[in-house]
Amino acid sequence: MRYFAAIVSFAVATAFAAYAHLLPEFLVQLRDPNLLGGPLFAALLKAFGYAFVLGLCAVLTGAAMLLAGYRIRLRGAGSTYVALAAVLAAICITGRFGVSLDPVGWICAAAFAVLLERKGRAALAGSLALVLMWSLVQGGAPLAALLALLAFAGAWIDGRRFDAQVREKAIVAAGSIVLGLLQLHAAPWHAYGAHALYLDSLLPGAQRDHLWTGGIGINMLGFCGVLVAAAWYGVRRRGRSADALQFFALMLLAMIDARNLPYFGLLAAPIAADAAASYYVGERAVPIAPFMGYAAAFAACAFTFMATIVSTEPKVILWPEAAQQPAALMQRLAADRRAHRVLCEQPRWCDGAHDVFSNLRDLVDDRAGWADRASLLAQKDAVDTKGAWRSQLARAGVDAVIAKSDANIVALLTQTGWRAERSDGMRVLLIPRRTQ
């Protein structure tokens, strides 16, 4: 079982490359001036093509999983339990595969969790430097601040005194909190999503990804897998209160929004697997090779993996369109350079449209419910074709509608002066006939 975690990681990277799609948030992140990750990915797309960025995201995901396994390996857990952590984390991550900045956040979170459990000035300096980089590239300083604060609280609860170890945790927590607050300085615009741990999904009318949607999906399977392991073996090994605090905090975040589930898998699955190792293993061992040995082996595999993908795929700068976002219809609407107010049958389709196309404004931005009550009401009534929805759309200045081809609003609008400008097979773009 020595190399099973590496095999699982490679399988995840391969599946990532095979099934990944563009997450809607990536369109917004490319234009976010607070993040270096968006411009960096854009530069990589232009210089090396989509296949390279896809391979890079896959490699970062695999590295995050190996770091999650290495975290409990440092605690002395055997290869079987490292593999258990890798499998549970992989299931939790699967639902969020895609070319986005998420893999950057995943590897930063996994590395930060490892550094939080180390001692000394080197670990302290490395933790703060990692949080700074994480904040600049992916906007993850608020999550780092939460993890550092819980690590400090756990260390203080266990020691009951302000010793050197607690002092180090306090310094990391203070630095992370400062960086986290700086990350949120432009709230609410730049506090969207990963910046604010997706807590904005609780706002009225905001996008919220649920763990359970009426059936057993990948998200629920991964979440339940970690919970079952934790319920059976516990989450507080040998008085490590920080493990319990982090586990339940991340569980709550995953329940609030399923987009937090990968972090729950990467950070909580090792805790549950380590508890299982403590239940069965009397004596613990140390890793056979130093970290640099593991890193060098992984880097060699990653180079081969990315070289294979890039060499076998043509250089394409444009990435595949996400099934959830009708980019082709928006491009057609924005082509005339005139200002438009667009209603999307599902507001998520229009997420960040104004960031990408400066002349388009969506009626409702689904990311954080950024719309007044009148706009939310107009959106609901128009989609349901109830009440005075035509007058509401006129008052809101809506001159474009994107909806499914068989939606009631499409049939009713085409009968009263609107025409289909373009269709992508699933959806149709409608504009008034007087608009040329």
| Among 121, 38, 96, 343, CA closest to 109 | 96
What integer pLDDT is reported at residue 189 of this predicted model? 43
Alpha carbon 84 to chain centroid, angstroms: 23
Structure confidence by residue, pLDDT tens digits, 207-238: 677 887 666 677 777 888 888 777 777 766 65
Domain membership flag for residue 308: yes
Domain membership flag for residue 29: yes
Alpha carbon 245 to chain centroid, angstroms: 22
The SS3 assignment for 385 reads: coil
| Among 196, 209, 16, 207, CA closest to 99 | 16
Those residues with Cβ within 8 angstroms of residue 12's Cβ, 6 or more apart along the chain or in another chain: 58, 61, 62, 65, 90, 93, 94
Domain that holds residue 286: 4-312
- Identify whether residues 197 and 260 lie together within a single domain: yes
How is 64-115 classified by DSSP, letter by letter?
Answer: HHHHHHHHHHTTT--HHHHHHHHHHHHHHHHTT-SBSSHHHHHHHHHHHHHH
Domain membership flag for residue 392: yes
Q: How many domains does the chain have?
A: 2
- Identify whether residues 283 and 355 lie together within a single domain: no
- Identify whether residues 86 and 130 lie together within a single domain: yes
- Identify whether residues 255 and 139 lie together within a single domain: yes
Domain membership flag for residue 365: yes
- Identify whether residues 299 and 331 lie together within a single domain: no
Rounded Cα–Cα distance for residues 80 and 97 (Å): 25
Bigger pLDDT: 356 or 244? 244
What integer pLDDT is reported at residue 239 of this predicted model? 62
Mean pLDDT of the chain: 79
Average pLDDT over residues 174-180: 91
Indicate yes or no: pTM above 0.75: no
Rounded Cα–Cα distance for residues 419 and 191 (Å): 38
Under 8 Å between Cβ of 61 and 103: yes
- Identify whether residues 341 and 308 lie together within a single domain: no
Residue type, 296: A
Domain membership flag for residue 302: yes
Domain membership flag for residue 321: no
Average pLDDT over residues 156-167: 86
- Identify whether residues 234 and 356 lie together within a single domain: no
How is 181-209 classified by DSSP, letter by letter?
Answer: HHHTTTTTGGGSGGGGTTGGGGSTT----
- Sheet with 340-344, edge to edge strand ranges: 360-362, 340-344, 400-404, 427-432, 418-423
| Among 124, 216, 222, 202, CA closest to 168 | 124
What integer pLDDT is reported at residue 190 of this predicted model? 52
| Among 380, 421, 381, CA closest to 399 | 421
Domain membership flag for residue 134: yes
- Identify whether residues 271 and 172 lie together within a single domain: yes
| Among 335, 396, 351, 306, CA closest to 25 | 351
- Identify whether residues 54 and 158 lie together within a single domain: yes
The SS3 assignment for 431 reads: strand
Of 312, 338, 370, which residue constitutes the final position of a domain?
312
What integer pLDDT is reported at residue 188 of this predicted model? 47
Of 247, 278, 312, which residue constitutes the final position of a domain?
312
Residue 33: pLDDT over 60: no
Domain membership flag for residue 317: no
| Alpha-helical segments (H) within 257-337 | 261-280, 291-312, 327-334
- Identify whether residues 271 and 412 lie together within a single domain: no
Greatest CA span in the chain, whole angstroms?
Answer: 79
Tokens of 211: 């763990």
- Identify whether residues 213 and 300 lie together within a single domain: yes
Positive or negative torsion for Cα 148, 153, 157, 163:
positive
Bigger pLDDT: 171 or 332? 171
Of 282, 312, 342, which residue constitutes the final position of a domain?
312
- Identify whether residues 169 and 257 lie together within a single domain: yes
Rounded Cα–Cα distance for residues 79 and 294 (Å): 14
